[in-house]
Amino acid sequence: MAVVDTQVAVVGGGIVGLACAAALASGGLPTIVLERHKKPGTETTSRNSQVIHAGLYYEPGSLKAELCVRGAAQLYAYCERRGVEHKRVGKLVVADAGEVPLLEALAERATRNGALVSLVGAARVAELEPNVRASAALESPATGIVDSHGLVDAVAADLASSGGLLACGREVVGAERDGAAWLLRCEGAAGEEQVRAPVVINAAGLVADAVAALFGVDVDARGYRQRWVKGNYFRIKGAPLVRRLVYPMPPKDGEGLGIHATVELDGSVRLGPDTEPVAAIEYSVDEERRAAFHRAASRYLPSLRPEQLEPDMAGIRPKLARGSDFVIERDAASGVWNLVGIESPGLTAALAIAERVARAILEG
Residue pair 155/15 in contact (Cβ under 8 Å)? The answer is yes
**Alpha-helical runs (H) found in the chain:** 15-26, 63-82, 100-112, 122-128, 148-161, 208-214, 219-222, 290-297, 346-363
Query: What pLDDT does 125 receive?
Result: 98
The domain spans of the chain are 3-47+149-224+324-363, 88-141+226-320
Separation of alpha carbons 19 and 305, rounded Å: 41
Phi, psi angles (nearest 5°) of residue 337: -85, 125
| 323 to 56, 57, 220, 290: CA distances (angstroms) | 19, 15, 12, 31
Quickly count: other Cβ atoms within 10 Å of residue 271's Cβ.
27
Instruction: Kindly give the parts of the chain with pLDDT less than 50.
Output: none
* Angular region, 205: left φ>0, alpha ψ -120 to 50, beta rest: left
Which CATH number does the domain 88-141+226-320 belong to among 3.40.50.150, 3.30.9.10, 3.20.20.210, 3.40.190.10?
A: 3.30.9.10
Q: Is the peptide bond before 130 cis (omega within 30 degrees of 0)?
A: no
Query: What pLDDT does 227 receive?
Result: 96
For residue 155, the cross-strand partners are none
Query: What pLDDT does 260 receive?
Result: 97
Q: 3-47+149-224+324-363 architecture in CATH?
A: 3-Layer(bba) Sandwich (3.50)
Q: What is the pTM of this model?
A: 0.97
Query: What pLDDT does 192 receive?
Result: 92
Give tens-digit pLDDT for 271-317.
Answer: 999 999 999 999 999 999 999 999 999 999 999 999 999 999 999 99
Query: What pLDDT does 73 receive?
Result: 98
Query: What pLDDT does 256 receive?
Result: 84
| 186 to 34, 207, 211, 330: CA distances (angstroms) | 8, 15, 12, 22
Residue pair 347/226 in contact (Cβ under 8 Å)? The answer is no
Q: Is the peptide bond before 273 cis (omega within 30 degrees of 0)?
A: yes
Query: What pLDDT does 1 receive?
Result: 61
